[in-house]
Structure 1
C-alpha cells in the first residue's frame, strides 16, 4: 500500500540477541547495494532453464515420462515451497500477520528458500519496499513505471513480472529488514540459500528414484518436481507483481492499483486476492469474501490449531466494512 509504513516484524515480540555482522556478512547481504555479475548470470539461468522445461512439458506429458509419483512429488514440493513464500516470506516475515514458535519460524524460512526466489532477508526487504512505494516511484516492480499507454503497460508488465529481478540496484536490507539481520536463525538460513537451492533441485530426483527404484524415475521426478515446479511457482509469484497490479476487481480501498484476480487464486495459494492485501497488509487472510479460496490462510489456521502459530490477525468485519468500495 502506497505510503504505508514498514510493517512491524513478527519477531519483535521476543528478545533477540544482537548480531554484529562482520565484513563478509555485510558483503553477502548488503555490500554496495549492487548485484554482482555472477548473480545476474545465475538468475538468468534459474529463470530460463525452468521456463524452457515448462514449455516442453506438454509434449513430454503426452509421450513418456509422467507417472503418478512425478505428479505427487511435484504437487507436494509446489505446496511446501509455495506456502514457504506465501505464508512464510510474505504473510509472516514481511507483514507479521501471525506469530510463530521457533521451529515453525525456521521451517518457514527454509520452505520459502526452496522456491528459489532469493534468500529470505532479500525477499522480505524487497517486498517491504514494494508496500512503502506501491505503484509509485520507488516501487521495485510496478507495471505502471513506464506510463499508462498500451505499449508502456506491456513494457511495464514484463518489467514487473521478471525484468526487475535484473536490476543491479538492491534494496537496502539494513533499512528494510534490520530485524531479520539481527535474528541468528534467519541469518543462518539466508546464508545457506545456495545449499537450499541445491536441495530443492535434488530432493525430487532422490524421491523419484527411491519410489520407483529406477534412474528413469529419478530423471522424470527431477524434470517435473524440480524444473517444472520451480518454473510454475516462479511465474505464479511474479504474476502477483504484474497481473494483479494491472487488472482485477477493486473491492476494497487501497492507495495503489492492486486487484483481485480470481483465476490465480488456487495456483497462488490465495495470494491473488491482492486488493484486500494492499488494503489491509497485516491481515492473515487475503480472500475474505464468500467463495474466495485462500489455501494459505487455511494452512495458517491449521498451524494455529496445532499451537505452532498464535496471535493470528484474522479479518475483522468492522475493519473490512470500513475499507469496502461503494457497490
Structure 2
C-alpha cells in the first residue's frame, strides 16, 4: 500500500484520504455503539456492589472479552492492517468475525482508519492523535479527549479505496464487513442467551446481557482507545519511532500486548510488540500458536539485529 506524504481532500491524481461524510443513520449508530456500552460501564460501578453479578456472568464475559479482544489485536490490527502474518482462509474469516464482536466498527473501516493513522502518525491527517491541538495543558486535555473517543464522532470518513483496496477485493471480508450490525446484535444477545440457559432464568439472561454484553464491550472499547490516547502521551520509548508512541505497562494484559506501542510504531509489521524482558504479549503467543497449528505462516517475528538497530537509533 502506498500513501501520499500529505493529506488531501482533492480529487487529483492521488486518491484523497477522505471519501465524504457519514450519513445521518450511520452517525446515529456510532453514538449508539459508543454511548450505550459506556453508560453500562459507568452504571456497573454502583450495580457491582452486591447486585446481579454471578460467576456465570464473569465466565461468559471473560470468554467474549478474550474472543473479541483478540479479534481486534490479532485480527483487525496485526493481521488485516499490518500483514504481520498470513492466514489460511478459515482463520482469515474467523478473525474478521471475532473482531466484529468488539463493536468497534466494520473490519474494512477499522483497518482504513488505522492505516491512515500510521501514514500520518501524530501529524495532520492522523484521525486520532492527541498532539493536533498544541502542547499546553488545555490543548493536551482536548487532545486526550479527541484521541480517546472524540474522533469517533467526526463525520468525515477515511477513503477505503485508497487505504484498503486489498480488503475491498475480498468477497468474504466484504460480506463480514457489510453484516457488522448483525455481529453487533449477536455480541449482546448471545451472552444473554447463554446466561439464561446456564441459570435457567430470565434474570440470568438480563444480568449476562448487562455484564457479559454491555459492560464487557464498554471495557474493551476503553482499553483499545487508551492505546490511541494514553500510549501516545505517556510512557517510555526504548525504540526509534517517528512519532510519540510509547509503552504503558499497566495496560499490557488487558490489551493483549498492544500497549507495548513504541516498538509497534518503530516496526509496524512485526508480529510481536512486547520484545523486552518481562513484556507480556498475549497476542504474539496466539499468533505463535496459529503458526504451530499450521493455520498461519510467513510470520514476521522480530530479529535481534533489527531490535538493536532500532534501540541504537532511539
Fold conserved between structures, TM > 0.5:
yes
| Structure 1 position 154 matched with structure 2 position 141 | yes
CA contact (8 A) 1:82 1:269 kept: yes
SS of equivalent residue, structure 2 residue 279: coil
Deviation at 1:59, TM superposition (A): 2.2
| Structure 1 position 65 matched with structure 2 position 52 | yes
| Structure 1 position 214 matched with structure 2 position 206 | no
| Structure 1 position 257 matched with structure 2 position 238 | no
Instruction: State the alpha-carbon separation in 2 of the partners of residues 326 and 94 from structure 1.
Output: 25
* Corresponding residue to 2:229 among 231, 236, 242: 242
Partner in structure 1 of residue 253 of structure 2: 266
Partner in structure 2 of residue 309 of structure 1: 296
Partner in structure 1 of residue 8 of structure 2: none
Instruction: State the alpha-carbon separation in 2 of the partners of residues 271 and 41 from structure 1.
Output: 29
Deviation at 1:325, TM superposition (A): 4.6
- Alignment map for 1:66-145 (pairs within 5 Å): 66-145=53-132
Q: Spell out structure 1 runs of 4+ moving beyond 6 A.
A: none
Partner in structure 2 of residue 180 of structure 1: 167
Deviation at 1:47, TM superposition (A): 1.6
* Corresponding residue to 2:192 among 197, 200, 205: 205
| Structure 1 position 283 matched with structure 2 position 270 | yes
Deviation at 1:49, TM superposition (A): 1.6
Deviation string 1:184-224 (CA, Å, 9 cap, x unpaired) is 11001001111111111101001111111111111110001
Partner in structure 2 of residue 20 of structure 1: none
Deviation string 1:48-76 (CA, Å, 9 cap, x unpaired) is 22112111213222222111110010011
| Structure 1 position 298 matched with structure 2 position 312 | no
TM-score by structure 2 length? 0.93
Deviation at 1:39, TM superposition (A): 1.8
Instruction: State the alpha-carbon separation in 2 of the partners of residues 49 and 183 from structure 1.
Output: 32
Deviation at 1:305, TM superposition (A): 1.1
Deviation at 1:32, TM superposition (A): 4.9
SS of equivalent residue, structure 2 residue 235: coil
TM-score by structure 1 length? 0.89
Partner in structure 2 of residue 17 of structure 1: none
Instruction: State the alpha-carbon separation in 2 of the partners of residues 325 and 266 from structure 1.
Output: 28
Partner in structure 1 of residue 10 of structure 2: none
Instruction: State the alpha-carbon separation in 2 of the partners of residues 119 and 50 from structure 1.
Output: 17
Deviation at 1:137, TM superposition (A): 0.8
- Structure 2: stretches of 5+ with no match in the other structure: 4-16
Deviation at 1:31, TM superposition (A): 10
Partner in structure 2 of residue 171 of structure 1: 158
Q: How many residues align?
A: 301
- Alignment map for 1:33-52 (pairs within 5 Å): 33-52=20-39
Moved more, 44-53 or 191-200: 44-53
- Structure 1: stretches of 5+ with no match in the other structure: 7-29
